[in-house]
Amino acid sequence: MEITTRALWTMIHGMGFGALYLLACSGALVELYRFTTSTIPAEPTPGQERFLKVYLAAMVVIAWVAVLMGAYVIYPWYRATPPRGTTDLAMFPQRLLMSSPTTIGWHSLGMEWKEYVAWFAPISITMVAFVFIKYGRDLKNHRQLRAAVLCFTLASFVAAGVAGFFGAMIDKYAPVHGGHTIQLSHGGEK
């Protein structure tokens, strides 16, 4: 069982940071809703408030690492230009997708949308974290700010979902390969 370094980076980007962010987003939506709309008998404790602040701050870090790694580590491998005369496009995912009418849409719709929409996730969640860290439980008393925070968290979730879906599908049809091969285990014959 082996994996190339480029495939490993892609896995860390998508299945590590991307999937973790999506999971965290669904939790954040529920917690923010519960935290900012609950009634007095269910008043959250200062410890719970502190936990949610740390949780949101961690989401900010995860979101920024995911998009920066995607844009500056994985994307250059994806869009690499093959030397003239290259016939095997396995190492050039963008060109591989564009070489067939059955896969070109994964680039022209999928990647063209993903490469930009993904950035709405960190921008939105940074704002959400800032507002929650600043206002905390007082957000209950700011109905409009609360509504905006929930909308931007939802938008962040949708943006990350679009990016994650297309990332997974693109990697299915034109995986990023290359770099050193890492031997994970030496499987024996059954």
Partner 1 sequence: MNTSDYVVSLNAPARPNGSGAAAILSAGVGSFALAVLAFAGDKSALIASSLVFYKPTGSLSGVTTVAILIWLFTWGILEWRWRSRTVAAGRIIAAALALLGLSLLLTFPPIVDLF
Piece of 21-29, 49-57, 139-147, 172-180 that binds partner 1 (CB under 8 A): 139-147
If the CB atoms of residues 26 and 108 are measured against partner 1, the closer one turns out to be 108
Which of 32, 52, 59, 149 is in the footprint of partner 1 by CB under 8 A? 149
Closest CA to 77 of 176, 185, 179, 181: 176
Work out the burial of residue 190: count CB atoms within 10 Å of its CB; fewer than 13 is exposed, 13-18 middle, 19 or more buried.
exposed
CA distances for 173 relative to 1, 6, 43, 83, 101, angstroms: 21, 16, 49, 21, 13
Residues that contact partner 1, how many (by CB under 8 A):
38
Q: Which of these, 6, 132, 126, lies nearest to 74 by C-alpha position?
A: 6
Q: What is the rounded distance in angstroms from the CA atom of residue 132 to the CA atom of residue 154?
A: 15
- Choose the binding region for partner 1 from 22-30, 45-53, 71-79, 172-180 (rule: CB under 8 A): 71-79
> Which of 71, 89, 98, 169 forms a contact with partner 1 (CB under 8 A)?
71
Asked if 138 interacts with partner 1 (CB under 8 A), we say yes
Decide if residue 126 touches partner 1 (CB under 8 A): yes
CA 6, CA 4: separation in Å to the nearest integer? 5
CB-nearer residue toward partner 1: 1 or 14: 14
The footprint of partner 1 (CB under 8 A) covers 67, 71-72, 75-76, 79-80, 108-109, 112-113, 115-117, 119-120, 123-124, 126-127, 130-131, 134-135, 138-139, 141-142, 144-145, 147-149, 151-152, 155, 158-159
